[in-house]
Amino acid sequence: MKIELLKTFLEVSRTLHFRIASENLFITQSAVSARIKLLEDDLGVLLFDRSQKHLKLTPEGNRLIKHANELLFMWQKTKQDVGIADNDMHQLVIGSVMSIWDIVLQDWLKKIHRNLDDVSLLTNTYSQLELRKSLLTRVIDIAFLFEPPYIEDLITQKIASVPLHLVSTNPEDNTDTIALDNHIMVDYGEAVNTQHLREFQHAPAAKHHMSQPRIALNFLLDAGGSAYLPKQMTFEYIAKNKLHLIEKAPVYSREVFAAYLAKSQKVDIIQQALMLFPQLKNK
């Protein structure tokens, strides 16, 4: 099946090594080579440059990565949807930008698992632009974004407002002059990024840029530095003096929105799931 060819291609593109890919896929190296050759023959292009000592993706190979990931997700969605059809289960396909998963969605997914027994979850990560397209084409049922999409066919609800505080591993940073040495810039969307750049325009440029708060937190604890992180994520580390709150720094607030199609066949189950967010439950 072509799905196996795509899985093999993605593993080779990730490792850039036929032998390592074969070990990870638990098949022979010759089988990996054969699958890649079949895929190249089907597409009529070379996906890898084999002329050098180290394997390299061709431009065509680079372009295929995005499509291969999308096709595998759709196949997973189809298998799950067909598989649960006889079990009175409802498939809920959830898409989000990377950083929102860590901020508010992890606990929410657990609440769905505990409270909605007839819901089967399928999740994926997208860019802001891809989320809107996937929602309108019914690839996903709920999209979580920082900037709400103003589209007539969509219902948009604010599900959380997350305070972002500047923390540092250096207690001496909490002085009259806020130092941003070894700063990690976490991507919370255009609004926060623009505000940060305006207020710290004279500070050194960020040394690292990361899309996920959890990755930034782990990096910070190991390597040191400073970053804006959600308050609930840093509370225990501040209590243990592993991180220090920069009290004089401005506090940002990042609003998170859920969007779904007004005419979705799953409106009832979507609304039940969203009501598990405290901000909506208390309304």
Domain coordinates in residue numbering, the chain: 2-77, 89-159+255-281, 161-254
State the pLDDT at residue 176.
44
Would you state the CATH architecture of domain 89-159+255-281?
3-Layer(aba) Sandwich (3.40)
* % of the chain surpassing 70 pLDDT: 92
* pLDDT over 60 at 258, yes or no: yes
- pLDDT, tens digit, 9 for 90 and up, residues 83-127: 655 555 688 999 998 888 888 898 899 999 999 988 889 898 888
Would you state the CATH architecture of domain 161-254?
3-Layer(aba) Sandwich (3.40)
Listing DSSP states for 47-81 in one string gives: -EE-SSSS-EE-HHHHHHHHHHHHHHHHHHHHHHH
- pLDDT, tens digit, 9 for 90 and up, residues 144-202: 998 888 888 899 999 999 899 999 998 776 654 566 778 899 988 788 888 888 888 87
pTM of the model: 0.68
What count of other Cβ atoms lies within 10 Å of the Cβ of residue 276?
18
150 class by beta-carbon count within 10 Å (0-12 exposed, 13-18 middle, 19+ buried): exposed
- pLDDT, tens digit, 9 for 90 and up, residues 8-67: 999 999 899 999 988 888 889 898 999 999 999 989 999 999 888 889 999 999 999 888
Q: Same CATH fold, 89-159+255-281 and 2-77?
A: no
Torsions phi, psi for 268 (to 5 deg) = -60, -50
CATH 1.10.3720.10, applies to 2-77: no
> What is the average pLDDT score of the chain?
86
